[in-house]
């Protein structure tokens, strides 16, 4: 198996934006609209209050995800923009990115990580639950939307 390389990059970098656009296109196919209307500011994904990571296989960017601070306590990270390109799926990219995000958030003092996911993403739901995420009360932009599923776990 080829090694997956993870790099921390600015959220608004060209490589991150290409992957984010692909992620939103995937969500748009599943849910319609633009894919995700959640307000996001690139500055939220800059250390020490967040980070954005890109996974590479054979030097090619194939996956991404990031975290940003959530709430007023300073101890919770929110996972955002997880994505793996179709050609790289099933090769451990998402799990590697998830582990790197969790590590980054833990290094910055976060004790918990949370996320929103839609019910039309069974592969993501399966990955999160197998990684130890449990259902939590919905929160955030889609808290009252039908099909919104929120998850969290201690770091």
Residue 36 clears pLDDT 90, i.e. is over it: no
For residue 9, cis peptide bond before it (omega within 30 degrees of 0) = no
Note the pLDDT tens digit of each residue in 84-115: 999 999 999 999 999 999 999 999 999 999 99
Residue 26 clears pLDDT 70, i.e. is over it: yes
* pLDDT of the residue at 1: 54
Distances (CA, A) of 13 to 8, 10, 64, 114: 10, 5, 12, 24
* pLDDT of the residue at 53: 98
Q: What is the fold of 5-154?
A: Aminopeptidase (3.40.630)
């Amino acid at each position: 198996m080829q090694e997956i390389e993870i790099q921390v990059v600015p959220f608004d970098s060209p490589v991150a934006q290409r992957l984010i656009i692909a992620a939103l296109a995937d969500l748009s196919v599943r849910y319609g609209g633009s894919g995700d209307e959640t307000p996001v500011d690139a500055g939220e994904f800059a250390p020490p209050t967040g980070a954005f990571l890109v996974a590479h296989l054979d030097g090619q960017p194939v996956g991404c995800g990031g975290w940003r601070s959530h709430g007023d306590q300073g101890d919770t990270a929110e996972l955002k923009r997880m994505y793996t390109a179709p050609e790289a799926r099933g090769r451990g990219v998402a799990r590697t990115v998830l582990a790197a995000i969790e590590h980054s958030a833990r290094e910055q003092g976060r004790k918990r990580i949370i996320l929103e996911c839609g019910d039309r993403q069974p592969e993501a739901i399966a990955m999160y639950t197998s990684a130890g995420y449990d259902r939590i009360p919905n929160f955030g932009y889609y808290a009252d939307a039908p099909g919104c599923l929120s998850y969290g776990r201690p770091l």
